[in-house]
Structure 1
């Protein structure tokens, strides 16, 4: 007899053609608050830091092994095959990311083949990352809907808003089909349109 599928649907999971309805962390001070919250938790700090400093999905962060990152320095590239697209991605890691990785590796014994992010019961899963991100955001009293995708969106949001990265570059980074899709995905379209009307002649 076939087993009944009892999988609980993730309320954040999009319909076909939709994007996941979670928010980026828009305020730098909230990012710093979460980092302070996680300062004595090397695994969580590394997961959060790597998540907001790259465009990697949670499923790809969890595919990283120790061998892939143990010798990387700021400016070096992490190469991995994306779970969703099957494409090989080359991600340049910045100083914050590599320092967080080294902090995690020094926190306990690792083997080269070990997943970078593990829990008491083995490798972390996407649902567990989703719960962690929600907990972190709740702990610093953030208002909104947050989940594992929040980290990726936070990266893109601040590349555009804080660092002024152009939309063509972000479209390429996120493998989107249009600038409109990227702006909507990063929750910046209404803000930028409003700012246009605020320009005085």
Structure 2
């Protein structure tokens, strides 16, 4: 019996996941997963850096263990082959310290390792985690691993006023127009601008 999954994209198309748009929802997820230092660090690092989950999953403990706020490392993006940076801010640093204190973790271990296999988590398992967190705080919509990256861009734009040009550079997108589509600029937002009086 072949049961069609309504959340599975048709051949040749893709499911678009959404960013988490409200700071209150971000705080709720942080609180929800605070007792799991690995998951908490994954969430915090993802929403504070805007890197793809796949690139975060390749990190080893030694890559970030000695970093302080304001320091960064260069990573090579697996999708584009371009260099990018992972920056440590104060929030990420706190989450990292909690994670490192939690267990005697070896320098050579993956930062986001499966407890069973010690191999890095898969994108599928990160998808499942993000969906679970969203469900547990009653957040409706479609969420997954890419939500972390999109949340970074959305919050940078709406809360801090960062322009699409800077976000495009951060995301290694070819143009700000790609970033606008990526972050789901809505017609309502465009219409709102038209109400500004000059």
Judged with a 3 Å threshold, the aligned counterparts in structure 2 of structure 1 residues 12 and 108 are, in CA distance, closer, same or farther, namely farther
1:176-198 Cα deviation digits (max 9, x unpaired): 22222111111234343022133
CA distance in 2, matches of 1:103, 1:39: 10
Secondary structure of the structure 1 residue equivalent to 2:160 = coil
1:71 equivalent in alignment to 2:101: no
Q: Is the 8 A contact 2:8 2:15 kept in 1?
A: no
Question: Are 1:174 and 2:190 an aligned pair?
Answer: no
Q: Which 5+ residue runs of structure 1 have no aligned equivalent?
A: 1-9
In the superposition, relative to structure 1, how do residues 14 and 163 fare at CA in structure 2: closer, same or farther (>3 Å)?
farther
State whether residues 46 and 104 of structure 1, in contact with CA within 8 Å, keep that contact through their aligned partners in structure 2.
Answer: yes
Corresponding position of 1:162: 159
Of stretches 141-150 and 191-200 in structure 1, the one that deviates more from structure 2 is 191-200
Q: Alignment partner for residue 181 of structure 2, among 181, 184, 190?
A: 184
Number of equivalent positions? 191
Correspondence for 2:22 among 10, 27, 35: 27
RMSD of Structure 2 on Structure 1 (CA): 2.1
Which segments of 5 or more consecutive residues in structure 2 lack a partner in the other structure? 1-6
Hey, what's the Cα distance between the residues in 1 that align with 2:76 and 2:39? 23
Residue 36 of structure 1 corresponds to 31
**What whole-Å deviation, never above 9, does each CA across 1:131-157 have from its counterpart, x for those lacking one?**
000000010000110000000000001
Question: Retained in 1: the 8 A contact 2:29–2:133?
Answer: yes
Q: Quick one: structure 1 residues 20 and 73, their matched pair in 2 at CA, closer, same or farther if it must change by over 3 Å? A: farther
Where does 1:121-200 land on structure 2 (aligned, <5 Å)? 121-122=116-117, 123-200=120-197
| CA positional deviation for 1:165 | 0.8
* Greater shift in the superposed pair: 139-148 or 180-189: 180-189
Separation in 2, partners of 1:177, 1:86: 14
The residue number in structure 2 matching 1:5 is: none
SS at match of 1:80: strand
Secondary structure of the corresponding residue to residue 102 of structure 2: coil
Q: How many angstroms does 1:58 deviate by?
A: 0.9
Stretches (4+) displaced over 4 A = 12-15
